[in-house]
Structure 1
Amino acid sequence: MFRLLWIASIHVRIFMRRYMPSTIILDYVRTRRGLKWGPVVMLLAAPYAVAAYWLTAWIEGGGPEWLYLLVLVCLWSASKMIWVGPVSIALVLRARMSERTKPILQQYR
């Protein structure tokens, strides 16, 4: 039973990494060229939150309850988008400090 759950979670993760727009965007933002887009990507949390709200309202109005899975995915994507801004700013600062100190260190060798 544990093995079945483990394999199912691996396949879900592979599917999410390959086809979910939020994960594709976050993979780009985590590159050195994409770090500057982190604060802008934070704005994408709002559409995900709105979609989760609309889906919840639809479910409460008599819609199918399996849509709660989509609500969960929307809320998870919104939370990922919210955190990418501060993290990317910290990573940009770290990368710039590293790039700034490399020529100084090479000068003394």
Structure 2
Amino acid sequence: MFALILGLTARTYYALRRFMPTNLVLDAIHTRRGLKWGVPAMLLAVPYSFAMLACVGLAETGGAGWLNVLALLFAWNALKFLGAGPVTLVRLLRVRVREGRSGHRAPRDSLPV
């Protein structure tokens, strides 16, 4: 029974991870090429916060109750983007220091024109 629940949970997690737009953006940001976009991606938290406030306002003024669930989803997405900025900044600094030590980056003179 436990294996069935664990398997169902894992399949649901990976299905949502693969098809949700914010997770796709965050996966792209956490690649080596995308680390530089982590801090600017924090700005995506602003529209999510405004959408959350709008849903909460509508729900409090007599709107549908499901708007609270949508507000919770918007809040969660805003927090994901707010957290991704500092994490990717630290990871980018680590990668740059590691590349600087190993001399892994190609010199600018050897780049094709």
Distance 1:33 1:7, change over 3 A: same
Which residue in the other structure is 2:31 paired with? 31
Residue 18 of structure 1: how far off its partner (Å): 2.1
- Count of residues in correspondence between the two structures: 104
1:65 is aligned to 65
Pairing 1:5-84 to 2, within 5 Å after superposition: 6=6, 9-84=9-84
Distance (Å, rounded) in 2 between the aligned partners of 1:13 and 1:60: 31
Return 5+ residue gaps in structure 2 as ranges.
Answer: 105-113
- Which consecutive segments of 4 or more residues in structure 1 shift more than 3 A? 1-12
User: 1:59 offset after TM fit, Å?
Assistant: 0.8
Percentage identity across paired residues of the two chains: 39
Counterpart residue identity of residue 93, structure 1: L
SS of residue matched to 1:65: coil
Are the structure 2 counterparts of residues 68 and 4 from structure 1 closer, same or farther at C-alpha, using a change threshold of 3 Å? farther
With over 3 angstroms needed to count, the CA separation of the structure-2 counterparts of 1:65 and 1:3, relative to structure 1, is farther
| TM-score, structure 1 as length reference | 0.81
Determine the structure 2 residue equivalent to 1:107: none
Query: Structure 1: where are the runs of 5+ without partners?
Result: 105-109
What does the per-residue CA deviation read over 1:18-62, in whole Å, with 9 as the maximum and x for residues that have no partner? 222211110000000000001110000001111111111111122
The structure where helix makes up a greater share of residues is: 1
Q: TM-score, normalised by structure 2?
A: 0.79
